């Protein structure tokens, strides 16, 4: 069975030539990951995509007709970057737009993976929540403050839609591996090999030389091994690259943890078949005694304004800590009667600096955007003209790369839920819908 990964993330782009080469052979399934928690909690909270709409549409409108022509189900994971219902709807609208423009007909399966606060509270009260970090225990308060909570689904809901003969499967928040492992396991292939292949495939051509998340990767599944080969002829898979990407994002180099269980790579072997192809054998799967789903929730913690600047004077750089303390004391004094205690935070993010230059971002988060703007203006103006022992210049301390210097970033979100929930069924949090498009 042949599976194709469009690229490492929907909207990153890929070579049209590579796509044509991939589909010059029969493709059984096409997949693409469309999101990640890597860009942080903002996108889940805001409902916005961190990939550009035009770029996402370009990636889809080239590939979708090819998949439909070959009757290869097209599986998309973590819609819109963060996978909430708003993100799923955003990506669905793009699919419908393409279908209308190209007169396409297909059966669309959608998996929503949002969960309610009540669902999480019940799991917490019944002792079915596991902390992923001792530094972030889950509380009722954190759950109640959350604005959006999603569950990271595995292969189960995707397999349900494959049974229903869906042509396109659009998922909310999903494990990256589920996109590629689900069709293999549905068709009876070794789940250990399926999950191992999926772990490598989900980043597109990152397991090739030259490395590229923005290109097409091919996997060939067999009874007791799988092979990987990039579609683009300028790239090649090597044992080093494929083995290295097996370790990607893993805390344990031998174990890949999934909602269903663990993929054990202790006895996995990698062999160069030809100049561009690597074969993998020996990966095994161990089913979990207790299936779990990861929950991701966010809350709004304020509003941000930033001001980037650079210091070029060596003496000013050496005195930066003194300047920062002076600025903070000034701001506290000037806001003590106008802003409530705890209504803002100020931090200075620096690039580490050299003798000749130091990059700074003045980062202010306030309870409101107005508070953040006010405090940023005070910080910026005081740091610009702050005196210090031995200062000779009467000009400003800072160089500003932008005008205006202050940048209004807007709402700030933080993870309030980032925990594992025990479930009785791996379909427990999935809402599945089927729809005929263009018929």
CATH classification of the domain holding 374: 3.30.70.600
Q: Looking at residue 366, what is its pLDDT? A: 98
Closest listed residue to residue 80, CA positions, set 68, 96, 94: 94
**Structural domain count, the chain:** 2
Are 285 and 320 members of one domain?
no
Q: Looking at residue 353, what is its pLDDT? A: 65
Within a domain: residue 148?
A: no
Are 233 and 346 members of one domain?
no
> How much is the average pLDDT of 2-27?
98
Residue 321: domain span: 300-416
Are 335 and 283 members of one domain?
no
**pTM assigned to the model:** 0.94
Are 376 and 430 members of one domain?
no
Are 378 and 235 members of one domain?
no
Are 159 and 231 members of one domain?
yes
Within a domain: residue 131?
A: no
Structure tokens at 32: 């693409």
Q: Looking at residue 134, what is its pLDDT? A: 87
Q: Looking at residue 66, what is its pLDDT? A: 98
> How much is the average pLDDT of 220-233?
98
Are 216 and 276 members of one domain?
yes
Within a domain: residue 126?
A: no
Are 307 and 269 members of one domain?
no
> How much is the average pLDDT of 110-133?
97
Within a domain: residue 142?
A: no
Within a domain: residue 144?
A: no
Within a domain: residue 192?
A: yes
Are 407 and 279 members of one domain?
no
Within a domain: residue 123?
A: no
Are 262 and 411 members of one domain?
no
Within a domain: residue 411?
A: yes
Q: What are the tens digits of pLDDT across the range 340-390?
A: 999 999 999 999 767 789 999 999 999 999 999 999 999 999 999 999 998
Are 101 and 228 members of one domain?
yes
Q: What are the tens digits of pLDDT across the range 72-89?
A: 999 999 999 999 999 999
* Upstream peptide bond of 162 is cis (omega within 30 degrees of 0): no
Are 285 and 310 members of one domain?
no
Q: What are the tens digits of pLDDT across the range 231-287?
A: 999 999 999 999 999 888 888 989 999 999 999 999 999 999 999 999 999 999 999
> How much is the average pLDDT of 46-56?
97
* pLDDT over 70 at 59, yes or no: yes
Q: What are the tens digits of pLDDT across the range 203-218?
A: 999 999 999 999 999 9
């Amino acid at each position: 069975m042949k599976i194709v990964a469009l690229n490492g993330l929907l909207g990153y782009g890929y070579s049209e030539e590579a796509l044509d080469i991939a589909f010059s052979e029969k493709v059984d399934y096409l997949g693409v990951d469309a999101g990640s928690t890597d860009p942080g909690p903002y996108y889940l909270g805001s409902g916005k995509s961190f990939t550009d709409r035009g770029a996402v549409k370009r990636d889809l409108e080239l590939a979708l007709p090819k998949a439909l022509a070959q009757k290869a189900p097209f599986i998309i994971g973590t819609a819109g970057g963060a996978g909430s219902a708003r993100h799923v709807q955003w990506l669905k609208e793009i699919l419908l737009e393409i279908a209308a423009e190209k007169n396409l007909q297909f059966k669309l399966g959608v998996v929503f993976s949002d969960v309610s606060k009540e669902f999480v509270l019940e799991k917490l009260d019944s002792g079915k929540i596991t902390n992923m970090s001792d530094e972030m225990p889950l509380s009722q308060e954190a759950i109640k403050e959350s604005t959006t909570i999603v569950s990271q689904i595995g292969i189960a809901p995707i397999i349900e839609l494959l049974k229903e003969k869906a042509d396109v499967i659009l998922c909310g928040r999903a494990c990256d591996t589920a996109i590629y492992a689900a069709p293999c396991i549905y068709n009876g292939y070794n789940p250990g090999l399926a999950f191992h292949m999926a772990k490598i495939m989900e980043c597109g051509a990152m397991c090739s030389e030259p490395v590229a998340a923005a290109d097409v990767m091919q996997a060939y599944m067999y009874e007791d091994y799988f092979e990987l080969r990039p579609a683009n002829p300028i790239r090649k898979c090597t044992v080093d690259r494929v083995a290295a990407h097996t370790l990607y994002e893993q805390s344990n180099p031998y174990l890949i943890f999934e909602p269903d269980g663990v993929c054990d790579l202790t006895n996995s072997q990698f062999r160069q078949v030809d100049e561009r192809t690597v074969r993998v054998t020996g990966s095994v799967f161990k089913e979990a005694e207790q299936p779990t789903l990861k929950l991701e929730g966010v809350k709004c913690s304020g509003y941000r304004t930033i001001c980037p600047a650079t210091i070029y004077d060596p003496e000013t750089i050496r005195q930066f800590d003194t300047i920062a303390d002076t600025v903070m004391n000034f701001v506290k004094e000037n806001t003590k009667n106008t802003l409530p205690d705890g209504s803002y935070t100020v931090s200075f993010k620096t690039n580490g600096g050299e003798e000749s230059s130091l990059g700074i971002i003045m980062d202010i988060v306030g309870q409101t955007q107005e508070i953040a703007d006010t405090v940023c203006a005070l910080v910026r103006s005081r740091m610009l003209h702050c005196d210090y022992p031995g200062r000779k210049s009467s000009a400003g301390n800072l160089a500003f790369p932008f005008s205006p210097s202050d940048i209004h970033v807007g709402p700030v979100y933080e993870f309030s839920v980032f925990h594992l929930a025990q479930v009785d069924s791996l379909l427990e949090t999935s809402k599945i819908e089927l729809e005929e498009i263009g018929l």
